[in-house]
Chains A and B, each alone.
Chain A
Amino acid sequence: MAQDIGTMLRKEASEFLGNVRTLRVFFLVVLISGLLPTLSLEAPFHIPNTLRGALSIFYVVVAAVVVVAQTAPDLVIRERAGHTLESLLASRLPDAAIFAGKALTAALMGYAASLLTLAVQLMGAAVRLHTLRLLYLASPTGRWLALAAPLVIAAYMASVGTFVALRILDQWSAYMITVMSLGAIILPFALHWISLDVAAPWLRGAVAVLGGVDLILLALGGRLFRRELLVLFL
């Protein structure tokens, strides 16, 4: 199975890197998310450091969210449009490998976007502040938020996005449902069922829980994947 997932990852990565439109969106998202916080460093009005840090982290997560929301449905729908999906389904690849290969590619691309955004933010800070150090990265909380949160959120959205795209034909709907799936994470906080805590131990726990949910979604997606459903939609 690992070999098959590796084959799928390799294929999806070469497809992703060979697609000019996708790459353009990817780097545009990275540049915007990376440069906006840097520009705020010289805002004409005073922005508290805590808010500046929160904004920077927000952009790191946004970069992952936007890239995953675009990539996950795109990896499926492009294959459907190019009639390559049926060739893939007619191959010996196990169902779970096809699903996992697509979901993991989308998650990794999203995480790569967040890391590149972070790098752009660091470079921006170096140029503007003459230091590589960003305030939020100095704290354990900031590091957890900037490095771990995008990964688990990207994996969550990638699983949902791939699952949805495999079942509906319209790319825009798949994109919207993927974005809206974030609501399921935000809702418990918005309804005060869970109170948000920015302490590092709480964040570690939250990341572990969401990581667990990601693994369950990934396993569930692979298990619920049905060649027949895809063939009926071809």
Chain B
Amino acid sequence: MTPAIVCRGLTRRFGAQTAVADLDLEVARGAVFGFLGPNGAGKTTTVRMMLGLLRPSAGRIAVLGLDPVAQGEELRSQTGVLLDQVGLYDRLTAAQNLDLFGRIARMAPTARRAKVEAALRRVDLWDRRHDHVSGFSKGMRQKLGIARALLADPQLLILDEPTSGLDPVNIKMLRDLLTSLAAEGGRTIFMCTHQLDEAQRLCSQVGIIRAGRLVAVGAPDDLEGSGGAPVVRVQCRRPAAGQAANLPAGAQLDGPDGEGWMRVTLAQAADVEELIKALVAADAGVLAVVPERRSLEDVYLSVVEGA
């Protein structure tokens, strides 16, 4: 089966400025992909190229096996989108907004009514179906935006900052909704977000983009365990002896804390064995050695800030 999204050398320039540079990316069908990066990193430009709203300056892109520029209409009919600005018609009611997009999707009247009802019920807005959107809170708008994206039961769901600007209650509500969508499977979800815990919880794969370049990609667990200097935490009965031990070259020891835990940053992962030997030789009374996993936030900050 072809991947849902394939980018090869994807580049987009605006005059002298390069928004997306030489992006290579592959998102498997059915995956929940988190696209992470700071503001202005190129996330929205990439999404716009995926939807055929912008032409790439160089490289190629295929979404659901289709060329977004040449086969844009076919592609967009199979894609549900929630953009960073939800873009709902304020003078229409919730039901009318969805009905409009059902008509655009060329649904038959009976099917359209059923789909609108199902989508509104799914996001708990059925009771508000006759209310004008102008009176909706930001959270309700986001939910209605997701209902609109789901209306035609798309193969690919593109969500650009779905929880941006929401209060904690609405963030939780929307995350629960996204969690249930992700758990359903069968549908590819491509989600741009700043929320690392959201990406960690929902995504099977994440990519981090910085200044238009993809700087890290992989499963959240793999990313957490990769990159940066390896760190181990060591608990010793006699920490002072540990501090005096002949540590491997390039190792840096911090601590100990009150319980005898020390944090050792190694030059390479293979140095762990040498470290333990050195501590044993120094009679430090090693009680525990625990590799310290970097959180997704650590990985994100290290690649985005170059830390």
Contact = CB atoms under 8 A, between A and B. Distances in A.
B87 A14 contact: no
A82 interface: yes
Q: Helix, strand, loop or mixed for chain A's interface?
A: helix
A42 interface: no
A228 B52 CA distance: 8
B53 interface: yes
A18 B74 CA distance: 32
9 contacts: A10-B103, A18-B91, A82-B89, A83-B85, A85-B87, A86-B85, A87-B81, A228-B54, A228-B55
A52 interface: no
B103 A92 contact: no
B104 A91 contact: yes
B53 A89 contact: yes
A166 to B, nearest CB: 14
A67 B221 CA distance: 60
Interface pairs A-B: 8 shortest CB-CB: A87-B87, A83-B85, A18-B91, A92-B77, A92-B76, A83-B87, A84-B87, A7-B103
Interface string A197-211: 000000000000000
Given A82-B90, A90-B53, A7 B100 contact: yes
A145 to B, nearest CB: 36
B101 interface: yes
- For A10, A82, A85, the residue with the greatest tally of chain B CB atoms inside 10 Å of its CB is A82
A14 B92 contact: yes
A90 B76 contact: yes
Interface in B89-123: 89-92, 96, 100-101, 103-106
A92 B73 contact: yes
Contacts of B223: none
Given A92-B104, A92-B105, A227-B53, A18 B92 contact: yes
B83 interface: yes
Nearest to A234: B85
Given A3-B106, A4-B104, A10-B103, A90 B89 contact: no
Interface string A89-112: 111111000000000000000000
A168 interface: no
A231 interface: yes
Nearest to B91: A18
A18 B79 CA distance: 29
Nearest to B96: A14
A228 B91 contact: no
B192 interface: no
Contact of A84 (B51, B73, B89, B96): B89
